[in-house]
Structure 1
Amino acid sequence: MSTRRLLELSHLNIHNANALSSPYTIGFPAMTAWLGFVHALERKLQAAGYPTLELVATAVFSHRCDLQTYQGPGDFVHSIIGTANPLDKDGKRSAFIEEARCHLDVSLLIEYQAQDSDEDRMERPEFIPLLERLLTRMKMAGGDLLGFNTPQLKALDDSDNQAVRRLLLNLMPGFALIERRELMQQAMEGGADALDALLEYLTIHHSCEQDDAGEVTWRSQRKAGLEGEKPGWIVPIATGFHGINPLGIAKNQRDPDTPHRFAESVVTLGEFRMAHRIHSLDEVLWHYHTDLDRNLYLCQQALPTTTVIDNDGFQ
């Protein structure tokens, strides 16, 4: 029996988060943004007097995602609502690159590890106020953190299914983001192109039938999952980066002591699944995985048996 120690950050109210999750997709922020925030929080806590504290895995639960777009009367597509800041010297809107934004209500479950001395200090009354002060000064997925519930520390046994169930039900209504890369891999092993495999699971097919009385019945359906499984809310997600040139030193790079390389986004399929349908924490916890032999820097939920990256950065 093993005990998992969790930090619960519930109902983080985020304003103007970056919704351009990759060069190909717009919507919920990339998984690299959430794990990047957790990594930044870990460094701040270590500097604040908890040197052995490690935040090793993160689960993301979405309660609300309000994408800032507009569809006018008669428009077929939505347009990004831009702020055009700042105005030019004549008070007019300057030329700018459109920035997709969204407002979010998100909860994070963070698994942590620490030596006994730091674990004991985390149980003291001063830890939660320190954590709250750090959170109010941080950005999340490029957005401003406007508010959150009081953080909580929890300890759960893996074998205690009822305790895990109660924890997840407390996050309802909410959707856990899980990885479904196996859907892409199955289609690509059958000879499909990576982009075609991605779109195949996102496309909604509409068909109609007319009976003898002339009544027309419309039906909408999406591609079934593995072995006839009907997947839930399938979305494209950005889960990391693929290096496209050797490590080296670039002119005017931000950190002169760290090797530099250019990279492209890795995009695969994910699924938003209701929290009450989750049976194990391993289904939702994300962690970093680096494969230097393949130049991959990924966020994932389990070590894969195979990882396929095509030339366009699809996994």
Structure 2
Amino acid sequence: MTRYILLEKVNIENANAFNNITVGIPAITAFMGFGRALERKLNAKGIAIKISGVGLEFHEYELKGYKNKDGQYVTTFPLPGSIPGLNEKKLDAHIMNQAYIDLNMSFILEVEGRHIDKSTCKSIKAAVETLRIAGGIIRSYKDVHLIDTLADIPYGYFLTLRQEALNDAVGEDVLDKMIHALQQDSTLIPLAVGFKALSELGRVEGQRDPEKEHCFVESVFSLGGFECSKSVEDIDAYLWRYKTEEGLYLCTINS
């Protein structure tokens, strides 16, 4: 049995706004990782479900930058040489300005299992309070409940995949194509959607999980965009899912 569960209007504070090459929407792998962590939490409590898809609906966001001398987050990112006081002290330490984003968003979870009811939602509520999303703290949420129709979804904007815009762009590599596409359509959003293997699977000294093989990877990028929830006719067309191939670990939307 497959049901949809809505995590409604989740307030996330200080999520990681870096997605390797841009500052903005956190990596899709971070949101999908939240779904996977939630699934494992529930499985550990004897609740046999699988979260097979995650819809991402945004209501509000506030992009932050770095904390200045007054303790305020600034949404600009100065180069190290332009940071006041750096050159005078002749500091040469590497500086990585942190970028955070506050989000108010809803998650539509596609849940598979034999028994999915209000008790499942109650268990999800308890588990959500112990998790982070993209490194950010979950401050609050409106509700967790089953949904049966599109009318049950609050107004917002779904983050969807625009891979065709990247495929049609001109450029020698993905970065060139991405820049060209963004110049043609300012509504597009750069997204980190997965990883590509750079080495063979194996084990390394000090790895976090000694039971699993590891490999070195690089990020895979694509383009996305926002679509108003009022235009949604099929929720399945807005659910992010995992897709794995040899050497590729991706988050995608079935077209």
Report TM bin, short chain: 0.7 to 0.9
The answer for the alignment partner of 1:301 in structure 2 is 253
Map of 1:108 onto structure 2 = 107
Cα displacement string for residues 247-305 of structure 1 (whole angstroms, at most 9, x for unaligned residues): 1111211111111101011111101111112221122101101001xx100000127xx
Match among 172, 177, 186 for residue 159 of structure 2? 177
CA contact (8 A) 2:201 2:213 kept: yes
In structure 2, what is the equivalent of residue 229 of structure 1?
A: none
Contact 1:42 1:54 in 2 (8 A): yes
Question: Which residue number in structure 2 is paired with residue 89 of structure 1?
Answer: none
Give me the whole-angstrom Cα distance separating, in 1, the residues matched to 2:136 and 2:173.
35
Q: How far is the alpha carbon of 1:187 from its aligned partner? A: 2.5
Task: Please say if 1:61 is aligned against 2:57.
Answer: yes
Give 1:69 shift. Answer: 2.8
Q: Distance in 1 between matches of 2:121 and 2:110?
A: 16
Give the distance between the partners of 2:99 and 2:196, measured in 1 at CA: 23
Q: Which residue number in structure 2 is paired with residue 276 of structure 1?
A: 230
Paired letter, 1:103: D
| Alignment pair present for 1:152 and 2:152 | no
Counterpart contact for 1:28–1:65, Cα < 8 Å: no
Which position in structure 2 is the counterpart of 1:14?
12
User: What is the CA–CA distance in structure 2 between the aligned matches of 1:66 and 1:105, rounded to whole Å?
Assistant: 9
2-side partners of 1:246 and 1:277: how far apart? 44
Equivalent pairs counted in the alignment come to 234
Identity of aligned residues (%): 31
Structure 2 counterpart of 1:250, from 198, 204, 212:
204
Per the alignment, residue 291 of structure 1 pairs with 245
Query: Among 37, 41, 62, which residue is 1:40 paired with?
Result: 37
In 1, are the aligned partners of 2:4 and 2:147 still within 8 Å (CA)?
A: yes
- 1:50-199 map, 5 Å: 50-51=47-48, 53-69=49-65, 78-79=76-77, 97-115=96-114, 118-119=115-116, 122-124=117-119, 127-155=120-148, 163-164=149-150, 166-167=151-152, 170-172=153-155, 174-187=156-169, 192-199=172-179
Q: How far does residue 95 in structure 1 lie from its aligned partner after superposition?
A: 6.9
TM-score, normalization by structure 2: 0.84
CA separation of 1:4/1:49 partners in 2, compared to 1, >3 Å: closer, same or farther?
A: closer
Distance 2:51 2:173 in 1: 37
Report the equivalent of 1:27.
Answer: 24
Q: Residue type matched to 1:5 in 2?
A: R
Question: Quick one: distance in 1 between partners of 2:233 and 2:177?
Answer: 28
Displacement after TM superposition at 1:183 (Å): 1.3
1:41 match: secondary structure: helix
Unaligned runs of 5+ in 2: 69-74, 79-92
User: Which position in structure 2 is the counterpart of 1:309?
Assistant: none
Query: SS of the counterpart of 1:151?
Result: strand
Q: Unaligned stretches of 5+ in structure 1?
A: 81-93, 156-162, 204-221, 224-231, 304-315
Whole-angstrom distance in 2 between the partners of 1:17 and 1:26: 11
Higher RCO (CA < 8 A, seq sep 6+): 2
Give me the TM-score of the superposition, normalised by structure 1. Answer: 0.69
Structure 1 counterpart of 2:249, one-letter code: Y
Give the CA RMSD over aligned residues.
2.3
1:97-144 residue CA offsets vs partner (Å, 9 max, x unmatched): 3221111101000011102xx33xx344xx433322211111111000
Structure 2 partner of 1:211: none
Alpha-carbon distance in structure 2 between the residues aligned to 1:102 and 1:18 = 6
